[in-house]
Amino acid sequence: MGYFLVFWSLFSYGILGICHKLAERKKCRPQPLAAMLMLSAFVGMNAFVLWGTGYSIPSRARYTALLCGAIALCALWAFQEGLKHGKIATSWLIINLSSAIPTLGSILIYKEPINLKKAGILALIVVAIVMVWRDRLEDLKRLEKRQERFPEPSTRVKPPGGMTEGEA
């Protein structure tokens, strides 16, 4: 069952990425997309809980879940907005690399012991983030050079009177 859930998670995240990219291509605004995703998750999880044992969630956990849901909503908005300015593969890589944040929190807050495996994984995450950052800088430099060689012509054409609409 464990491997099934791992592959189901992988498949689901892949489909989610495709949906985000399709929405971005169709010029869908990120807020409604994220809101629909969260609403669907809310309805689905409540149905799952009600068909199971019912609600027995302590109020402290409920408030924590609401806070985490709000943060997840902000993360989806930021991700969807970021797709307009970058590559989908880079965006998903950064999301996956962000798993270092709870790991570091667990080490710092709960004093979880660090073994060689955890230290190596955290080091690789830092290396990957630096590599993504450097790749993005190179892309920006290439774009800058291309724009210097081939400047885009002005899209505002002056009418015979000499003034454009914004200048009048």
pLDDT, tens digit only, all 168 positions of the chain: 777 877 887 787 777 777 777 877 788 776 777 778 878 888 887 787 777 766 677 778 878 888 888 888 787 777 777 767 766 667 767 777 777 788 788 888 888 888 898 888 888 888 888 888 888 788 888 888 888 887 766 555 555 555 555 554
CA distance linking residue 126 with residue 57, whole number of Å: 37
Is residue 88 classed as helix, strand or coil in its secondary structure? helix
Q: How do residues 58-81 score in pLDDT, each as one tens digit? A: 778 878 888 888 888 787 777 777
CA distance linking residue 162 with residue 49, whole number of Å: 68
DSSP-assigned letter for residue 85: T
Instruction: Tell which residue, 35, 5, 11, 13, has the closest CA to residue 88.
Output: 13
Q: How do residues 78-94 score in pLDDT, each as one tens digit? A: 777 776 776 666 776 77
- Buried b / exposed e along 72-102 (16+ C-beta atoms within 10 A): eeeebbebbebbeeeeeebbbebeeeeebee
| Residue 104 and residue 113 in contact, taking contact as beta carbons nearer than 8 Å | no
pTM above 0.85, yes or no: no
CA distance linking residue 66 with residue 87, whole number of Å: 30
